[in-house]
Amino acid sequence: MTPTYDGVTPDPVILPVSAVISDDAGERRNYDRILDQVSRPLMQQAREHLTFTAKPTTYPDGVVSNLEFTGNDKLRPTWRSPNLGPHVAYLSNIIRRTLTEQMREQTRYLRNHVRARNALKEVVEMPDHQADRVLRSIEQNNAELSNVLLKQMPVLGEPGVWSEIVESVSKAFHTDAPENNHVLDRYHPSRPAGTSS
């Protein structure tokens, strides 16, 4: 979401409301439905005032078009004073879900990620960026040591090292989750908010 400068949230806080919408098919349908509440009636009224001319016109904003609209006076109240009550209710619900689901889940993920990185580094000391690569590899390769990672970090192939890393990472991600969850079920920052593992 584009940052706003109305002082409602302090800098540099940005509420990621678009993530809640894009991650949930139901919310995407609701978003389209809410937009249609203004645009559909407006377009129905505007249709009779739209024509295409043979010669393009240059409009005051610099746009050149052969679309001609003659309903300004009739439709001006529609876009000057639209009923945005449903939009406000929808956005309020999205903000609530952002705060109670998306941001809570992201906070939990980031806390567990730091915990997992530190646990990994207790087994094999490495810079943070390498530890993050190992964590990504655990997720992407179903906890199997990839040949690419092994070539880049041969220490991971030493007896017992990889299994100890996977176990340490798993414990770190289980801290906030039910005991029957697997580490790979928790390690998904792109999973929609509120989705259970």
CA-CA distance, 37 to 35, in Å (whole number)? 5
- The predicted-structure confidence for 18-60, as pLDDT tens digits, reads as follows 889 988 899 999 999 999 988 888 888 888 999 999 999 898 8
- pLDDT at position 14: 81
CA-CA distance, 116 to 189, in Å (whole number)? 14
Tokens for 108, please give them.
């939990």
Beta partners for 151?
none
- The predicted-structure confidence for 70-96, as pLDDT tens digits, reads as follows 888 888 888 788 888 999 999 999 999
Beta partners for 52?
67
- pLDDT at position 30: 92
- The predicted-structure confidence for 136-180, as pLDDT tens digits, reads as follows 999 898 899 999 999 999 999 999 999 999 999 998 888 754 443
